[in-house]
Amino acid sequence: MLNYHFLLDLAIILLSTKVLGIITRKIHMPQVVGALAAGLLLGPAVFNMIHETEFIKQTAEIGVIVLMFTAGLEIDIKELKKCGKSSFIIALFGVLVPLAGGFAVAALFNNGTLVGLDTESLLQNIFLGIILTATSVSITVETLQEMGKLKTRSGTVIIGAALIDDIIGIIVLTFITSSAGSDSNTGFVLLKILLFFAAAAIIGILFFHVFNTYSKRYNEKRRFPIIAFSFCLIIAYAAEHIFGVADIAGAFIAGLVISGSAHTKYIKRRFGILSYLFLSPIFFASIGISVSVDSITGEMIIFSIILLLVAVLSKVLGCGIGAKLCKYSKKESLQVGVGMVARSEVALIVANKGVTLGLLNSLFFTPVIFLVIVTSIAAPILLKLAYGKSGDNQIECTEGFVEEEPFD
């Protein structure tokens, strides 16, 4: 006999993420904060109402895959080229500095020393760095839009850089997850990664051409989201199963492949609905389940605060330096840096993956959630300070880049 309790669980998850999302929205905070708060309330940390089941675990995983797939879909490679070298340089520094910062913090707490590490600790420390690399641009986009600054020089470059940032982050993630699974033979790992990217490129190009040609020929659009979804799932599965690379990297690449095909906008809307109506709330509930209260010790609080500071400063510095190198003014460089501070779903997704792979001590999960909540709240405030009342000249470039908030 089927136990029907999961229906009630689902109703509670949907309602609480939505209600808290609406509340945080009302007090001008991102809905992600509300959804996360709902997850925490439902989990063992507070009310202990939702328990992990195979259904929640697997549905959350599909939710994560869809979120990463959508992140890939956001990136229109042709458009990206227009935004040029500046975005790339800013993104590169915006990944490397937080990566180093996160690594340093982890090393400090994980081993108490920066030298003499075994491979496993090394990978674990790098992993904390990777979590810090993922920028969430949706909060920035909304804030800039509200202020009418989205089409300024700095606004445009932020969006381009945040997208490239995702790509670089996924490449780094691929390296690290691939190293984790294997018997740490570096040559073999590199070969696997090389094969993964080669296979992804060949299959991606082939699939894009077939899919795009087929898409253009048919007006009956409803089949395309299904084909895209299946492709995404197969690539995600193959990444894990054949290459030992994180499934989310595969999903992101699948999104990248399909972005720029004829019906991308249509496909994106369908996945947005699937996500907000069903998958994302379950993802947030699963995050809430992962958090245990036992982990909140004095040391953990100190760690959380240091991690937060490093996360904010390393992004501001990294992206700021990148912008300065590209001849942006001091003020603009600061704006760019601040615009990249927010972390959101991707940081959670990567952290979650790390726990699954044994690359992140589950104790570190709570600080990451803290980081996401605080940066999500702080980003709009910092942005408003950084932009002040200056009258930057508006330029055109961003249309089509603007991410839709997946929860509302």
Q: Which residues bind its own copies (CB under 8 A)?
A: 1-2, 4-8, 10-11, 14-15, 18, 22, 53-55, 57-59, 61-62, 65, 220, 222-223, 225-227, 229-231, 233-234, 236-237, 240-241, 247, 270-271, 273-274, 276-278, 281, 356, 408
Angstrom distance (rounded) from CA 320 to CA 325? 9
Instruction: Enter the tokens of residue 174.
Output: 């691929």
Question: Of 7 and 201, which has the nearer Cβ to its own copies?
Answer: 7
Give residue 331's region: left, alpha or beta (phi > 0; psi -120 to 50). alpha
**Count of positions (residues) in the chain:** 408
Question: Of 6 and 197, which has the nearer Cβ to its own copies?
Answer: 6
Residue 128 in contact with residue 328, Cβ under 8 Å?
no
Contacts (Cβ under 8 Å, ≥6 apart) of 366: 291, 292, 295, 296, 300, 304
What is the Cα Rg of the chain in Å?
A: 20
Question: Of 85 and 222, which has the nearer Cβ to its own copies?
Answer: 222
Question: Of 276 and 283, which has the nearer Cβ to its own copies?
Answer: 276
Instruction: Enter the tokens of residue 194.
Output: 């090389």
Phi/psi for 329 (5° steps) reads -65, 165
Question: Of 197 and 278, which has the nearer Cβ to its own copies?
Answer: 278
- Tell me the CA distances in angstroms from 362 to 124, 178, 294, 310, one per residue in order: 12, 20, 11, 20
CA atoms within 13 A on the CB side of 331: 11
Question: Of 11 and 395, which has the nearer Cβ to its own copies?
Answer: 11
Amino acid in the structure at residue 273:
I
Question: Of 93 and 207, which has the nearer Cβ to its own copies?
Answer: 207
Buried-state track 316-326, b at ≥16 Cβ within 10 A, e below 16: bbbbbbbbbeb
Instruction: Enter the tokens of residue 404.
Output: 């839709």
Question: Of 28 and 223, which has the nearer Cβ to its own copies?
Answer: 223
